[in-house]
Structures are given as structure tokens and as C-alpha cells.
């Protein structure tokens, strides 16, 4: 579905919606709609069979008015520079909504990691990072994991940059292994934040999460953690999917068993047989109370939004609902907790990791989780109250807060008169 939808156009439409409420100056709107730096790199890697393969990658810094730019690195065969620019723009608003002192960036490489050996993945990562290194730095631009990357990839990134600088620079990347200056709680942070906002949103719509039926699309870092923590919060997970397809059992799925036995296997969660097999599009339309899209963008569109049965959608993924879908969902009273709020837990704990690295002083997991929960709850409360003041949907309310903070910083710095 995402191939037919221009993700950057989607991000710009969202900005335009918020700009109307802020009465944003046209010139400033243009500044905020445009990335400050875009680098496209093409680089060779000698594969295990001796052949050379040329990869294409990107790093986009959208806005640095509020601090160093921050945002993940994605490895996915369908990424392009436009989607990476949209993801960078969403990072800017996300950091501003959570009120952490970062701007937004994103990086990506067009690659299907399933086709690479571990050695090829490491060589590709080190070469990509060397090519984009002019943009990176612990005070300038700090990557983190996203689709297709993980703590091991972050470790290679830190090592590559450290070798080039001549000493260890842990603060140049977050989501690292704990042994290398990673933070307790970062692996689970995005999914944990998704569930904290799910709990808050359940209160908003008067839904008892205890016994509520939840469907999760995507069973990677974000989706699997969200499913496990939602189950711990009392919900029943009735549907789960990954890139291969989904499974459904109205009586509930054994999330921990699926995670321990089927996550990352060639056949994915479909290998679990005590459930009905469903496609990813059927999964979105299953009967449930809460839907957590936690995979890729543009999954809920003008074509299927009217068939979504959940009362509450909590966006673990970036950009899973298109603007057309937003209008349909809002009209039928479905509450959508937007990505720039719902999945901000990852970058919030990345901020904690960066602070710990700069101080060389590390916190216990309880401290990380309680600070994360506090920020997620207060961000949710601010967005909910903006929603009431401006009489908008929750995405526009979150954007009003995020865009205003970035616009104010841009004006105060004198970047824009």
C-alpha cells in the first residue's frame, strides 16, 4: 500500500493542517516544511561471494533549532529519500512534543537485510556510516535503531566513528548494547511508551484495558514489546502479524511464547498453528478494542479506514494512518494517538542514554522507566488538553504543540526574522 502513497506529501499535509491553527507565517511554514540537510550516498560492498554490490543510503536532518538532530537508521528495501525526509520531519515534532532538546533526523539504506550475512551487514553498516560521518557527532546528529537495525548495528556504528575520531565516542549513537554505554530500558522503551499512552487514552474514551482486545501489526522491537506490556496491563492480544502475515485467536494469543519461539523465524508468527491465519490487511480490520499498527507507514488509508473496528488506535509505527484515513476515523469517533506522541518513548530513553553517556554516569532501569512514564503521561496530558482547546483530532493537537515549540525556537534563535 505504501508504494502508492507519497509519505513526504502526507507529512507536509499534516504540517499544513497544524499551521492553520498556529497562523504560521508563510515563510516560516516553508522553513519547517524543508529539511536543512540531505545527503545521498552510494557505496560499494564486497559481498561474501566476492562480487561487488552498490548500495544507496540517505541521512536527512530536518531541523536543528531545538538541539542536535536525532533519529533512527532504517534498513528496508522500499525506503527512499522522500520517505526518509518525512521520517526526519516527524522526529522534529516528536522531540518537541516530548520536550526533549533535540531536532529531527533520519537515515536509511535501501536493503533487504534478510539477504545479507552478518559479515555483509557489518561491512555495509561500517561503509554507510563512513559515508555519512560528516553529518554525525555526539553534539550534532545522533542515530538510533529503527526498522531492520538493532543494538548490534548501533555498536558497529559507534565503533566505526570511534576509530575515525581516535577515541571512544559512546554519545554518537543511542540504542547501543548496555556494555558499550547503552541505557537500561532502551530496547523496551518505544513499546513501553506505546502502552503508557494506551493506558491514558483508554481513560479518555472510558475503556477498561483489563480484558480489552488488542491487535498488533508488526512483531519487531516495538510491536512485540507493546504486545507483551499490554498483556501485562491486563489486555488480551487477539491478533499479531509480521511481514509474512498475521494470526488471530479471539480467545487470546500466547504473546511470550510467540516472542520466544517464533519471532525472527523464517515463517514468522504464522508458524504458530493454534490460530487463524490472516493477511496483514485482514488483521487491521479484525474485531478489537485497540489496534496498534507497529510496522510500516500508510497501512490505514482512505480505502480501509471505514472498516477499522477498533475504538482506539495507538500508532507504534511512524505514519501508519494517512490524512484521508484520519478524517474518516475522526468522523466515526475513533481516537488515534498519533505516532509523534505514542511512539516517542524510544527517543525519550535515547535522550536519557545520551545524557548518561555524556556524564559517564549510568542509571538503574527503575529510574529510566519512571522518568519515561512521567514524560509520556505529561506529554499525553498536554496533547489532550490542546485537543480540547482547539477542538481538533489528537494528531493535529500534538502537531500544534510540536510545531509551535520548533517555530518559537527558530524565531528566538534568529534563524527566521
Interface with ligand NAI by CB under 6 A: which range of 30-38, 53-61, 220-228, 304-312?
Answer: 220-228
Of 21 and 58, the one with the shorter C-beta distance to ligand NAI is: 58
Q: Enumerate the known binding-site residues.
A: 70, 94, 190, 221, 350
| Spatial CB neighbours of 88, under 8 Å, sequence gap ≥ 6 | 35, 60, 61, 62, 69, 71, 104, 105, 106
- Closest distance between ligand NAI and the C-beta of residue 30, in Å? 26
- CB closest to ligand AKG, residue no: 72
Per rule CB under 6 A, count of chain residues that contact ligand NAI: 24
Q: Is 106 a catalytic residue?
A: yes
CA angle 316, 279, 146 (to 5 degrees): 30
List, in order, residues 6 or more apart from 63 with CB less than 8 Å away: 32, 35, 36, 69, 89, 92, 103, 104, 406, 410
If contact means CB under 5 to 8 A according to the sort of partner, which of ligand NAI, ligand AKG, none does residue 295 touch? ligand NAI
- By residue count, the chain amounts to 417
For residue 223, which of 175, 322, 139, 293 has the smallest C-alpha distance? 293
Q: Which stretch binds ligand NAI (CB under 6 A): 21-29, 134-142, 200-208, 314-322?
A: 314-322
- Chain residues that interact with ligand AKG, rule: CB under 6 A: 70-72, 91, 94, 144, 146, 174, 318, 343, 346-347, 350
Q: Which is nearer to ligand AKG, 371 or 390 (CB)?
A: 371
| 221/334 with CB nearer ligand AKG | 221
- Answer yes or no whether residue 218 interacts with ligand NAI by CB under 6 A: yes
Q: Which of 339, 277, 296 is nearest to 77 (CA)?
A: 296
Told to check if 318 binds ligand NAI by CB under 6 A, we report yes
d(CA 219, CA 337): 19
**295 neighbors 76 (Cβ within 8 angstroms):** no
Q: Which does 70 bind (CB under 5 to 8 A by kind): ligand NAI, ligand AKG, none?
A: ligand AKG
* Residue in 154, 169, 317, 383 binding ligand NAI, rule: CB under 6 A: 317
Tell me: does residue 316 bind ligand NAI (CB under 6 A). Answer: yes
Say whether residue 219 binds ligand NAI (CB under 6 A).
yes
The catalytic residue among 106, 110, 123, 311 is 106
Of residues 135 through 194, those in contact with ligand NAI by CB under 6 A are 145-148, 190
Contacts of 103 (CB under 8 A, 6+ apart): 61, 62, 63, 64, 65, 66, 67, 68, 69, 70, 91, 92, 95, 406
Cβ nearer to ligand AKG, comparing 217 with 236: 217
Find the shortest distance in angstroms from Cβ 45 to ligand NAI.
21
Neighbours of 213 (CB within 10 A): 19
User: What's the closest the beta carbon of residue 148 comes to ligand NAI, in angstroms?
Assistant: 5
Q: How far is the CB of 87 from ligand AKG (least distance, A)?
A: 6
Phi, psi values for residue 313, rounded to 5°: -115, 125
Nearest alpha-carbon partner for 141 in 177, 171, 175: 171
Q: How far is the CB of 188 from ligand NAI (least distance, A)?
A: 10
Q: Residues at the annotated binding site for NAD(+)?
A: 190, 221
Minimum CB distance to ligand NAI smaller for 190 or for 392: 190
State the minimum distance, in angstroms, from the CB of residue 268 to ligand AKG.
Answer: 23
**Exposure letters 349-378 (e unless 16+ CB within 10 A, then b):** bbbbbbebbeeeebbeeeebbebbbebbee
> Which cell goes with 268?
514468522
- Do 37 and 135 touch, CB atoms closer than 8 A? yes
Q: Which of 132, 118, 110 is nearest to 39 (CA)?
A: 132
Could you give the CA distance from residue 388 to residue 393 in angstroms, rounded to a whole number?
Answer: 9
Contact partner at residue 294 from ligand AKG, ligand NAI, none, CB < 5 to 8 Å by partner kind: ligand NAI
The catalytic residue positions are: 106
Where along the sequence are the contacts to ligand NAI (CB under 6 A)?
145-148, 190, 217-223, 241-243, 280, 294-296, 316-318, 343, 346
Amino acid at each position: 500500500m505504501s508504494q502508492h502513497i507519497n509519505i513526504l506529501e502526507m507529512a507536509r499535509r499534516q504540517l499544513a493542517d497544524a499551521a492553520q491553527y498556529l497562523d504560521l507565517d508563510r515563510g516560516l511554514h516553508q522553513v519547517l516544511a524543508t529539511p536543512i540537510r540531505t545527503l545521498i550516498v552510494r557505496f560499494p560492498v564486497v559481498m561474501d561471494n566476492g562480487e561487488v554490490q552498490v548500495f544507496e543510503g540517505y541521512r536527512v536532518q530536518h531541523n536543528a533549532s531545538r538541539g542536535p538532530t536525532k533519529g533512527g537508521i532504517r534498513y528496508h528495501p522500499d525506503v527512499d529519500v522522500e520517505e526518509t525526509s518525512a521520517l526526519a520531519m516527524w522526529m522534529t515534532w516528536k522531540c518537541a512534543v516530548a520536550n526533549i532538546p533535540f531536532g529531527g533526523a533520519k537515515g536509511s539504506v535501501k536493503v533487504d537485510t534478510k539477504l545479507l550475512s552478518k559479515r555483509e551487514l557489518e561491512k555495509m553498516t561500517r561503509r554507510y556510516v563512513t559515508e555519512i560521518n560528516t553529518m554525525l557527532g555526539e553534539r550534532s546528529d545522533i542515530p538510533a535503531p529503527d526498522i531492520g537495525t538493532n543494538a548490534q548495528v548501533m555498536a558497529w556504528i559507534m565503533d566505526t566513528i570511534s576509530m575515525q575520531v581516535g577515541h571512544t565516542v559512546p554519545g554518537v549513537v543511542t540504542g547501543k548494547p548496555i556494555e558499550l554505554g547503552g541505557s537500561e530500558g532502551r530496547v523496551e522503551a518505544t513499546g513501553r511508551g506505546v502502552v503508557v499512552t494506551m493506558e491514558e487514552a483508554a481513560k479518555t474514551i472510558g475503556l477498561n484495558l483489563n480484558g480489552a482486545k488488542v491487535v498488533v501489526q508488526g512483531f519487531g522491537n516495538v510491536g512485540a514489546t507493546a504486545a507483551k506490556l499490554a498483556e501485562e496491563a491486563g489486555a488480551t492480544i487477539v491478533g499479531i502479524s509480521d511481514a509474512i502475515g498475521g494470526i488471530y485467536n479471539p480467545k487470546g494469543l500466547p504473546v511470550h511464547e510467540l516472542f520466544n519461539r517464533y519471532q525472527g523465524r523464517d515463517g514468522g508468527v504464522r508458524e504458530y498453528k493454534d490460530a487463524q491465519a490472516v493477511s496483514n490487511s485482514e488483521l487491521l480490520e479484525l474485531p478489537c478494542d485497540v489496534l496498534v499498527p507497529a510496522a510500516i507507514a500508510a497501512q490505514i488509508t482512505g480505502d480501509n479506514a471505514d472498516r477499522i473496528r477498533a475504538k482506539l488506535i495507538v500508532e507504534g509505527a511512524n505514519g501508519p494512518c494517512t490524512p484521508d484515513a484520519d478524517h474518516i476515523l475522526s468522523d466515526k469517533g475513533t481516537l488515534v494517538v498519533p505516532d509523534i506522541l505514542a511512539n516517542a518513548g524510544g527517543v525519550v530513553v535515547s535522550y536519557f542514554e545520551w545524557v548518561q553517556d555524556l556524564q559517564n554516569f549510568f542509571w538503574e532501569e527503575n529510574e529510566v522507566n519512571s522518568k519515561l512514564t512521567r514524560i509520556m503521561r505529561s506529554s499525553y496530558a498536554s496533547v489532550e488538553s490542546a485537543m480540547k482547546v482547539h477542538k481538533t483530532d489528537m494528531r493535529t493537537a500534538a502537531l500544534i504543540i510540536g510545531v509551535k515549540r520548533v517555530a518559537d525556537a527558530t524565531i528566538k534563535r534568529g534563524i527566521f526574522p
